[in-house]
Every structure is written in structure tokens, then in C-alpha cells.
Amino acid sequence: MTSSRKTNIQKPPPDDEPLLFREQLSLLLECLPIIPFVCDAKDPLRILFIHPAVQTIAGYPPETVTGNPDFWKMHIHPEDQSMVLDNFHETYNTSDSPFEYRFRIADGSYKWFRDRRKRLDRIHGARYTIGSWQDITQEKQLQMESEYRLQQVIQADKLASLGEVVAGVAHEINNPNSFITYNLPLLEETWLFLKPIISGFSKTHPEWQSSGLHIPELCQDMEEMIHAIRIGSDRITKVVSSLKDFARMDQNALTRPVGVNDVIEKTMVIVGGQLRKAASQIKMELSPNLPEIQGHLMKLEQVVANLLLNAANALPTKEKGRISITTRYIHRIHSVLIEVEDNGAGMKPGIMDRIFEPFFTTRRDTGGTGLGLSLSYGLIKEHSGRIGVLSRPGVGTRFSVYLPVGKDCPFELRPTILCVDDDPGVLSMLSKYFVSVKKIPLETLARSEEVLGYIENHPEVDIVISDIMMPGMNGWELLTQIKKKYPLITVILFSGNSDQLETKPDHAPRPDYLFPKPVPLKSLLESINAIGRQKL
């Protein structure tokens, strides 16, 4: 009798099941922040295939990535290229060893990618490298935010400890200074009593002298010394008062009316000594009768101190070093403006774009933490204000702080180009090109005599374009005046007269760019894009 045996025979899947599986897999990959790709094993920098998710995450069609052998290498952030490419082969040969870098996406911004690659041999007789990019931008932002908050806590703890130390130091300084202050009036009264007696003695003994000085000269020296002691004692009192205010700084204090000029003057008492060691010329132009703002005096002092010390650190030598501090009221935006400018080394555009990032510093080797400007940015934001920077390598740097007078005074500022020409057609053409086509803010003037006043009331102007052949003040004279008062502003001159372009007056500085007329718009735009624009 033959026994029947059951055999499990697996039925083949329906014809559409593999297709459904591929669709599900593709949908899954599109929903994840991952971009799979395949590279040639012999040339692992070249991408042969990339998943369509690259268009969702990075904005590039797959054919754009695979069509250029150098696409991946060209889009790594310039500051990360050395780190990635120099160690690429070592990392590539290490199984499952990821590396992270910033990658330029289609809109020109950068995302953080975590790159994993693995080499697979003999797939259908060929060798490939498979890999994936994972978008970790949000993870990096959270990490930086966490580190920033941690440093804020550490900084607050340091400030609290420093406040206790400062309070103790102020107390110790105040005791001997109180003795001087108390006894100084007694010394002055005693001198007033003795002076007639000494003068009478001098008349009867004109030959009497000490250390080569006669009595009238000694009396004059005595009066000058008493006056100097009073000045020194008053200065110590101001320093102690500022130290006590710093020690009492309350991060949660309510806002109150603050005079911006008072902030500058109190800060100079604290950091003035360091500035005088770094710069031979310190210029203060504080506009009188500024309206008060609602704010925190100590927080604003911290911002101004950071900006002034940054300016001092940017100066290569004391002999030629200059620092200027100015304040004024900008009526059209109802804001008080503080400007701190130096003639130091300046910054390249790439550095200027990152200057307010937490932990970013160009002085890591000399003790820079990268927190000063970042904290200043946050403190000004607390005051509903704006902080901006304009810098030119080899010329200097200017920080601008805008503090609104009232909370209901919102304002919008963007780096602006000012074009000067008496030809309405040229002004109209440039305005349409920059504003309508390129979306770049541009304002126009027909009279060069109005330029300096316009810049005074519009500090967001960082580029001036002017015709040389102007009635009244010509382009060369305008260039001279702008560079004298605003050395960081870029000045571009153009002219339809070739002689005007080739013959520069001896007294005039050199313009940043010269163009013939009609102005070649493409070349002009390329020049503007190459300039480090003001960051607001």
C-alpha cells in the first residue's frame, strides 16, 4: 500500500506582486531623509545612479547628478572639502565608516549630509560602490542649539561667579578711595589756610628754594597735585560704581528707559583702558538729545563692550589703529543707531556670513570662544532690534546696532544699492534690472550733492554707483567724499567718456570698479556679487 506524502509546493506570486513591492520600496525611500546612490568602484567620486529622492531633498534631478563626473565633489562646502577629500580613500576603504559634511543644494543653501558607502564586488561580473546620503541638517541644528544653550548656562554661571568677585573687588577699592575722598576737602582747606602764610614767607625770603624750585613754583605744583588727586578719585568712584552695577546685573530685570549715550559712556569706563592700548585714535561722536529706548542697561553694555573689544582685537598695530563709536537717531525707522567701526584687517565675505554663528571664531588660537557676537545678536534681538556688519578685507569692519524707540515700531532693512545719475533713462533701466528682475534693493538719486545726506539717513546702503559726468559735484569728487566719511562703502563709477575712465585726478582715491557707459549689466552684477555685502 502506497502512503501518500503531502508536499508543500509554494505557488508563484502574482505577476503584479514584484511591481507592487518595488513601488512600496520606492515610496518608503522617498519618505525617508535618505538618498541611495551607486558609484563606479574604479572612480568612487563619480555617481552612476541616484534615487529620485535627491530631487525632494536636494532639489536636483537625478540626471543632473549623474551627468557630471565632478558633481559631488563640486557641491561640498569649500570649508569641508579638504577634510572630506583628503581622507576620502581611507574612509572609503573602512567598511561602514560614515563621514559628515555640508552639501550645496539647488537653492544655493547648504544641508548637512551623513555619507555611508560600501564596496560590493562581482555583481553580475562588475564592481560597484553603493552608498547613501542622509539629511542630518535638523540633527546638526539641534546639536548646535543644545551646545549653545549649554554655553549660555556656563556663561551665566561664570557671570554670577564673576559678579561676586567684582562686588568684592569694588568693595576693597572703595574703602581706600573713601578715605581719599573724605580727606581731600580737609587737604584743600588746609592748603587754603597755609597758602597766604607761605606766600608771605616767600616775599621775605625770595632766595629760598627746594630742589631748584622757588616757593611760587612749589605752590603752583601743590595746587595741580590736589586737582589731579580729585580727578583720580572721581574716576575711581565711577569705575567702582560701574563694577557694582555689573555685579548687580539681573538677567530677568524688567525693561526701563535707557539712554544709549549713557550705555556707551559707562562701557568706556570699563573697557577704555584696553582700547587705548590697542588704538592710537579713539573717536566718539555721540548725538545729543537721543530719545530713550526701553531696555536692559547692563545687557546693552555687554553688547557694546563685545563690539569695542572685537574692534580692538582686529587692529594689527596701535600706531595706525583707529576705533570710532557713533550714535544717532534714524527718524524714518524710529530707531537709535550705534556704530562701532575699526580700520583693522577686515573680513572676507565667507567669514562675515558666519560671524554671528555660535562658536564660530577666527581667534581660536588666541582664546576666542565664538560666543561674544552670538550672545550680542541674541541680546539685541531681545530688544526687538537688529545688528549688522559690513567689512572689507584690508579696510576694516563696522558693526551697526539698531534699537527701536518703541515696541510698536517694526522696521525692515536690507543691503541697498544707491545709483546716482542725472539721466532718468539710466536710472529707470538700472532700477528695472536690479529691482524687478534680480530682486536686489536699489534706490536712485539725480543729484550727487544729496548722496552723503542720504547715506546718513539710510545706513543700509553699502554700494554707490555713480556717473562721473555729473553737474555740480562730479563722480570723482563724490568718490573722494564717500571714501573719506564711509571708507567701507563700495563705490562704482561709470562714464560714456573714455577719457574720464582713464584719467583719475591725483587727489581722488581709486574706485572699486570702473565701467563704460552704457553699463554692461551682466559685468556689473558679477562685480556686485563678488563684493561682501552688508549683513543685516
Please tell me the distance from the alpha carbon of residue 421 to that of residue 440, in angstroms, as a whole number.
18
| pTM higher than 0.75 | no
pLDDT at site 199: 81
> Looking at domain 257-413, does it have CATH number 3.30.565.10?
yes
Rounded Cα distance, 322 and 317, in Å: 10
List pLDDT tens digits, range 27-39: 666 667 789 898 8
Q: Distance between CA 262 and CA 73 in Å, rounded?
A: 53
The pLDDT value recorded for residue 364 is 58
Q: For the chain, what's the residue count? A: 536
Pairing of strands 416-420, 322-330: unpaired
The CATH class of 416-530 is alpha beta
Any bridge partners for residue 401, and if so which?
A: 338, 387
Q: What is the C-alpha separation between 37 and 29, in angstroms, rounded? A: 12
d(Cα 24, Cα 30) in Å, to the nearest integer?
A: 10
Contacts 24+ apart (CB under 8 A), 79-88: 79/350, 88/44, 88/45
Strand 442-445 and strand 416-420: the pairing is: parallel
For the chain, which residues make up each domain, given as ranges?
30-135, 147-249, 257-413, 416-530
CA atoms within 13 A on the CB side of 313: 16
Q: What is the DSSP letter of 9?
A: P
Alpha helix positions (H), 205-214:
none
pLDDT of res. 10: 46
Cα gap 305→149, rounded to integer Å? 22
What CATH number does domain 30-135 carry, 1.10.8.50, 3.40.50.300, 3.30.300.20, 3.30.450.20?
A: 3.30.450.20
Return the amino acid letter for 374: S
Mark out the alpha helices in 67-136 (DSSP H runs).
Answer: 71-74, 78-86, 88-92
Point out the residues of the chain with pLDDT beneath 50: 1-12
Provide the pLDDT for residue 455.
Answer: 95
Residues 6+ apart with CB under 8 A from 326: 284, 285, 286, 287, 337, 338, 339, 341
- Label each residue of 131-184 as H, E or C: EEEEECHHHHHHHHHHHHHHHHHHHHHHHHHHHHHHHHHHHHHHHHHHHHHHHH
pLDDT value at position 287? Answer: 94
CA triplet 38, 40, 45: central angle to 5 degrees? 85
- Asked if residue 505 has a cis previous peptide bond (ω within 30° of 0), the answer is no
Q: Are 213 and 221 in contact (CB under 8 A)?
A: yes
Using CA atoms, how far apart are residues 136 and 145, in angstroms rounded to an integer? 14
Measured in degrees and rounded to the nearest 5, phi and psi for residue 487 equal -65, -20
Sign of CA dihedral 511, 328, 336, 362: positive
Q: How would CATH label the architecture of 147-249?
A: Orthogonal Bundle (1.10)
Model pLDDT for residues 364-377, shown as the tens digit of each residue? 555 555 567 877 88
Per-residue b or e along 495-531, where b marks 16 or more CB atoms closer than 10 Å to that residue's CB? beeeebbeebeeebeebbbbbebebeeeebeebbeeb
Given a contact cutoff of 8 angstroms between Cβ atoms, the answer to whether 34 and 54 are in contact is no
